[in-house]
Structure 1
Amino acid sequence: MVQQGIDKEITEYRLAYLYEVAEQGGIRAAADTLNVNPSAVSRQIALLERHLQIPLLEKQGRNVIVTQAGKLLIDHHREMLYRRRRLAETLQDMRHLRRGSVSVRVGQGIINEFVTGPLRRFSAEYPDVFVDIHSGNMSETISLILRGKVDMAVSFGPLGDPPVTVRSFQRGPICALFPPAHPLARQPSISLESLARQRLIFMAEQFGIQLYINEMFRERRLAPLPAFQCNHFSTAVALAMEGMGVAFMTQTSSQYLVDRGDIAAVPIDHPLAHTATFHLVRGQGRRFTPAAEHLWKVLINSMQSDIQDNPPTR
């Protein structure tokens, strides 16, 4: 109770009076700066001393000096002023999207596409916004979004009907990845029957692209056994580049590998391969920070632009 009483009496304007006395070197000068009567300054400091039961000012000739206790209060007030300025600056920066943070989950197979496309553009415009990037399976990602632990997700594959806001974009075709010198690398497309005779590289079941691959094989009543199964796309790509098996990615996501001459991407001859879907996911009704809202718009614009620049092939 005593502590609460003391805290109640250490009001901001009383500290401001004491602060100005120290800054201006006297009560009259502080009163002139604050545009109040000198008696008002003296009275408020006296009330503060009475409640704290310790002197804050001492007379020294015609002047007054601040005691050690007074200096502690002044340091506290100065720190509060600094923190308030920093808070105002941060809020102003956030209003103008210069600061803040965004958490985003990105499917492994589209990391390169995400980084070199929308994230590169976003970070160039707003370099002081912190972006937390993780990868993970879709069920875990949806759970984190619903719990407010993640702002948004960039994913690929069948999504179902979760209670989230989704923007979907067609991202086919799904391609088989071969070394450039492979006999099948120059084919305009490849059938699932031909693929079933190859050494295949599958991803773990939770990967969106593997769900598509499994469904395509099931639809054709094929059940090939993979030579390898991976939980990282970098592993699958490395195996495919060495000619040890056939991996799978969308044409868009594998384009950087094709451009470097590391791989050949041959579209799979199946309707589902050309209607594979890419999703942007966020919580329903959740209000984003300005930075997160801007990244969301950058992602949508990027996906729409890619569809215009690379229309689906049939």
Structure 2
Amino acid sequence: MVQQRIDQGITEHRLAYLYEVALQGGIRAAAESVGVNPSAISRQIALLERHLQIPLLEKQGRNVAVTQAGKLLIEHHREMLYRRRQLAETLQDMRHLRRGSVSLRVGQGMISEFVEGPLQQFSADYPDVFVDIHSGNMSETINMMLRGKVDMAISFGPLGDPPVMVRSFNRGPICAIVPPHHTLAGLEAITLEILASQRLIFMAEQFGIQQYINEMFSSHHLAPLPAYQCNHFSTAIALAISGLGIAFMTRQSARPLVDRGDIVAIPVEHPLSHTATCHLIRSQGRRFTPAAEHLWKVLASSMQSQSAGKR
């Protein structure tokens, strides 16, 4: 009877609420994330605690922390989500006669290199695997990865210390992007002071390269106002090619456009420019399908080769 009563109290939506509270660090943030009233989450977790007769959350200042019992329930819920996703993928593979699927998120500035290099190799090795490709900001990507909605990600920029497995590779230098006819096109390198006096093209704040640009200017006590701000690299590059302003890319990302003669890439004189890194990311402890594991290895090998080739 006791076991039956406990089982009945551990419902899926209560576990989902507890999981969200742990992920977001508080009930209010969890409620905003799932689009419900905070009282609904508090009520369901309280009912779960009453059924189990054990606390699942404890207050720590303005935030809440998950107890050991809560962590056990969250791990159970995470495993359920993972198994459900694997089941859905298997059923989808059977329906569409595929041999698996891989989902990943790629930073906008790295998509061309990913498609022309690692993806071509992977598609030749696994021609029947469905590849789901999206781009988005880092916090959103990490959130989706922890939820089991994305297998891996390629990103650029400051990363912090997220609860994921990370392999990092040198990506610098960051370059100022101008058309060949620009008055600065002949420079071997360019200072932040010169850049601050120009019409600049910035990316949205969530882009890794913009975070590097902001940090470099800030270290020189400069705060230039951009002439343009974009949320797509293609827009920024189109503006730069047209001579309407100076955009920013790494030399590696800019290489195809440089080789075609569309732009000139001038390295920015700053230590951060030359130590900028890109990252290959996956969830800790996540079991990949053979196809996903192969793509991970192809990406790691490609990024390592590119990083070593710059030395």
> What TM-score results when the alignment is normalised by the length of structure 1?
0.68
SS of the residue 2:176 aligns to: strand
Mapped pair 1:307 → 2:311: no
| 1:123 Cα offset (Å) | 0.9
Gaps of 5+ in 2: 1-89
| 1:181 Cα offset (Å) | 1.2
Deviates most, 118-127 or 209-218: 118-127
Matched residues in 2 for 1:254 and 1:267: separation?
A: 11
Deviates most, 118-127 or 267-276: 118-127
Aligned positions of 1:222-261 closer than 5 A: 222-261=222-261
SS of the residue 1:248 aligns to: strand
SS of the residue 2:297 aligns to: helix
Matched residues in 2 for 1:176 and 1:129: separation?
A: 38
SS of the residue 2:177 aligns to: strand
Q: In the alignment, which residue of structure 2 is the partner of 1:221?
A: 221
Amino acid at match of 1:299: L
| 1:307 Cα offset (Å) | 1.6
Q: Which runs of 4+ in 1 moved over 6 A?
A: none
Matched residues in 1 for 2:184 and 2:140: separation?
A: 37
Q: In the alignment, which residue of structure 1 is the partner of 2:143?
A: 143
Matched residues in 2 for 1:304 and 1:162: separation?
A: 22
Aligned positions of 1:60-209 closer than 5 A: 99-209=99-209
Matched residues in 1 for 2:109 and 2:198: separation?
A: 22
Q: In the alignment, which residue of structure 1 is the partner of 2:295?
A: 295
Matched residues in 1 for 2:206 and 2:260: separation?
A: 29
Corresponding residue pairs, total: 219
Q: In the alignment, which residue of structure 1 is the partner of 2:264?
A: 264
Amino acid at match of 2:174: I
Matched residues in 2 for 1:308 and 1:279: separation?
A: 15
Matched residues in 2 for 1:186 and 1:281: separation?
A: 37
| 1:185 Cα offset (Å) | 1.1
> What TM-score results when the alignment is normalised by the length of structure 2?
0.68
Matched residues in 2 for 1:254 and 1:215: separation?
A: 21
Cα deviations by residue, 1:184-223 (Å, 9 ceiling, x for unpaired): 1121100000000110000000000000000000000001
Amino acid at match of 2:254: S
Matched residues in 2 for 1:270 and 1:303: separation?
A: 23
Amino acid at match of 1:223: A
Matched residues in 1 for 2:194 and 2:216: separation?
A: 13
Cα deviations by residue, 1:101-149 (Å, 9 ceiling, x for unpaired): 1000000011111111111111122111110000000000000000000
| 1:99 Cα offset (Å) | 2.2
Q: In the alignment, which residue of structure 1 is the partner of 2:278?
A: 278
| 1:308 Cα offset (Å) | 2.1
Amino acid at match of 2:104: V
Matched residues in 1 for 2:142 and 2:219: separation?
A: 28
Amino acid at match of 2:271: P
Matched residues in 2 for 1:113 and 1:234: separation?
A: 14
SS of the residue 2:150 aligns to: coil
Matched residues in 2 for 1:275 and 1:241: separation?
A: 26
